[in-house]
Amino acid sequence: MVGGIFGQRKKRMLECANCGKELKGNQKKFCCLLCLHLYRKGKTYEDLYGKEKAESISNKIGNSRIGKYGGENHPMWNRHQTEESNRKNSESQKGEKHWNFGGHLPEEQKEKIRLKTKGKKRSEETREKIRLARTGTHASEEARQIMRIASKGDKNGMFNKKHSEEAIRKMRESTLGKYAMEKNPNWQGGKSFEEYPKEFNKAFKEMVRKRDGYTCQECGYTEEQLGYRLTCHHADYDKHNNDPLNMTSLCKSCHGKTNFDRNNWTKYYRDKTLKAEQNKCQLSINVLENQGQTNILEISTSVGQKTQSLEEIQPEI
């Protein structure tokens, strides 16, 4: 037997590192491939071999793959998975089946990813591919709720933080002129630059707000609660149609929402105003009936005329 430190031989393992069975023949650490798989499951290279050797293994694997599966060399080049295959892949990784279900990446791993991607920008070709792939897709209500909860309160990355002056400047410069005029998806041919007629003045707007009880007709907040005057919105978006039936009082938040999907908003306010006017006229009829008025036919005719005039104010969608 060779003596000394350098002459000592490594003692051979006699039991399987996973199940404890006796090893036979050329078996060095595991009795079968199943035990090898179970032993390694859920462990990183660092857990198995230590930090130094783990980095060496990761680098070797990374270098061996450079260019190997790029472009036409990739087995899925110019091919697409079937809908059935996509569905199976999705089902196999949902909820508790996902390898990282309920877990989070360690801070060290997050830092590595951050440093690796810092300063890198996607090419215009890649951006265009992502844009086309996402066009027309919408997150389900369930997915939106999950995302909303995941970024609420102290879970939000900007919780108790503020953008620096430098960050604000960069964001402002990156969007400066990008969505101006014709480039904006909500561009309506320059309607916002049209002047309001003389009758749309302070007195007229005050009359509309007073009629609506100084209350936003969507969210129900009052001017006193909001701390500012409500805006007077044209239901048909025509600045020259200042008929009181075409006006409604809105807060800034609700008024901002009406800048999108204008056709549906126009129909919504037309139907809402029509219903309110009909209810008001019906109430007047009921009051007169209770007071013993007999000329109901004349009143009903006036109700029909009001309803007809209201429908003519706002065009069909």
What does each C-alpha distance from 179 to 10, 176, 183, 216, 252 come to in angstroms? 70, 8, 5, 29, 21
pLDDT in tens, the chain (317 residues): 444 433 344 555 678 888 888 888 777 788 888 888 888 887 888 888 888 888 888 888 888 877 777 778 888 888 888 889 999 998 888 888 887 787 778 888 888 888 888 888 888 899 898 888 888 888 888 888 888 888 888 888 888 888 999 999 988 888 887 777 777 776 766 666 677 888 889 999 999 999 889 999 888 899 999 899 999 998 888 888 888 888 889 999 899 888 888 888 888 888 887 787 777 777 777 777 776 654 544 555 554 554 445 445 444 43
258, exposed or middle or buried, with CB in 10 Å at 0-12, 13-18, 19+?
buried
CB contact at 8 A, 261 and 227 = no
Please state, in angstroms and rounded to a whole number, the distance separating the CA atoms of residues 225 and 89: 51
Please state, in angstroms and rounded to a whole number, the distance separating the CA atoms of residues 226 and 209: 14
pLDDT at 151: 86
pLDDT at 51: 86
pLDDT at 191: 66
H or E stretch covering 248: strand 247-250
In 10 A of CB 246, how many CB atoms? 20
pLDDT at 230: 93
pLDDT at 136: 80
Q: The tokens of 52 are what?
A: 């130094």
Q: The tokens of 240 are what?
A: 């020259």
Please state, in angstroms and rounded to a whole number, the distance separating the CA atoms of residues 230 and 242: 17
| Pick from 264, 243, 253, 252: nearest CA to 313 | 243
Please state, in angstroms and rounded to a whole number, the distance separating the CA atoms of residues 67 and 75: 13
| Pick from 276, 204, 279, 189: nearest CA to 234 | 204
Residue 149 phi, psi (nearest 5)? -70, -35
List, in sequence order, every residue forming a beta bridge with 233; answer none if it has no partner. Answer: 248
Q: The tokens of 196 are what?
A: 């309001």
CB contact at 8 A, 260 and 184 = no
What b/e sequence results for 196-227 when a residue is b if at least 16 CB atoms lie within 10 Å of its CB, and e otherwise? eeeebeeebbeebbeebebbbbbeeeebeebe
What b/e sequence results for 30-50 when a residue is b if at least 16 CB atoms lie within 10 Å of its CB, and e otherwise? bbeeebeeebeeeeebeeeee
pLDDT at 70: 76
pLDDT at 3: 43
DSSP assignment letter at 73: G
Residue 215 phi, psi (nearest 5)? -130, 135
